[in-house]
Amino acid sequence: MSFYKSIVRPLLFLSDAETIHHRAIRVLELMGPMWARFSPPADPRLARRVFGLNFPNPIGLAAGFDKNAVALPAWEALGFGFAEVGTVTSRAQPGNPQPRIFRIPECGGLINRLGFNNQGCDAVASRLQRLRDSGKWPKIPVGINLGKSKVTPLQEATEDYLLSFERLKNLGDYFVLNVSSPNTPGLRQLQDRAALHELLGTIQGRNQSGRPVLLKIAPDLDWAAIGEILQLVEDHRLAGIIATNTTIDHSSVPIQQREQGGLSGRPLRERSTAIVRFIAERSKIPIIAVGGIDDLASAKEKFDAGASLVQIYTGFIYEGPNVVRKICGGLLRDLNPDVS
């Protein structure tokens, strides 16, 4: 067992999950620029070009970990091939009451009901602009995940997303419309055909620069609904789909540990893979897979199902900061068994 899993993780898990998260982000924010200077170069054999962007490797950080884009240099230093910040909303908001993150070590899962807590699009835009101006912008693609402000009525959701997109559109390499979090009341109704048609059409209509725009969907949709969404994504010429967000199906969690919120991690692996496969069998649109990826086998499962790229969140918490390099090392060994 690794030093992280045998020593560090048990100590971290003694404290509240959100407290540890904030401390980790602070360390990453402070140390990231220095780590980036000494991080080894990416192996070109792992590079991929997807929706017009060059990814040094196919393993990315999922949205939700670096909500306010404070630690971008650190993600590159840790070996990630891309990083997605957010979810960012048009207005700053505190999110749901604490406690709101719950670890479930028995099944490698995590339940969160954060509720898009973030500093808002203006603050994130200013921070990203300062990073660009400083010359410390990472060499990996940076995605920006956009969500609806909680106080915005559902019928005004399109204007809310558009405000954030307009404010940030020149600062991200790609954008994700998050209509699938279970922690903002009514948000998943935006996956319905009429609402989604309006949202996608409006954003793409204002996307004059042609930035890649992706849609993040829920794992709890039935196959017919996913098929309808896939058609809309193709009709509006989106760059890709992220499959999937967290699930409201907690049947794999011990009853005494079930909490309201979205479940991520290992319990989501099978359903996420099934959705990736379903989409890949019906479309050539690029897929970013997320859900239950914490080692080489789970990453390869997503690639074999049809994903172009994968993202990690809960796996980073359970496996530690070396998880990306371990997966990349395994991918390289598959390409060349002689690679050490």
Which tens digits make up the pLDDT trace of 258-292?
899 999 999 999 999 999 999 999 999 999 999 99
Q: What are phi and psi of 285, to 5 degrees?
A: -65, 135
Q: For 265, phi and psi rounded to 5 degrees? A: 95, -155
Give the chain's domain count.
1
The confidence score (pLDDT) of residue 211 equals 97
Q: What is the CATH number of the domain that holds 138?
A: 3.20.20.70
* Residue 25 domain flag: yes
Query: If residue 243 lies in a helix (H) or strand (E), which one and from where to where?
Result: strand 240-243
Please tell me the pTM assigned to this model.
Answer: 0.94
C-alpha of 100 from chain center: 18
* 46 falls within a domain: yes
With a cut of 70, say whether residue 256 has pLDDT above it. yes
Residue 115 within a domain:
yes
Task: State percent of the chain over pLDDT 70.
Answer: 99
CA dist 196 and 157 (Å) reads 10
Task: Decide if 128 is inside a domain.
Answer: yes
**What is the residue range of 156's domain?**
3-335
- What is the average pLDDT score of the chain? 94
63-100 residue pLDDT tens: 999 999 999 999 999 999 999 999 999 999 999 999 99
Confidence of residue 319 (pLDDT cuts 50, 70, 90): very high
Which residues are tagged catalytic? 181
- Residue 102's nearest CA partner among 94, 116, 112 is 112
| 82 within some domain | yes
In a domain, 340, yes or no: no
339 pLDDT exceeds 70?
Answer: no
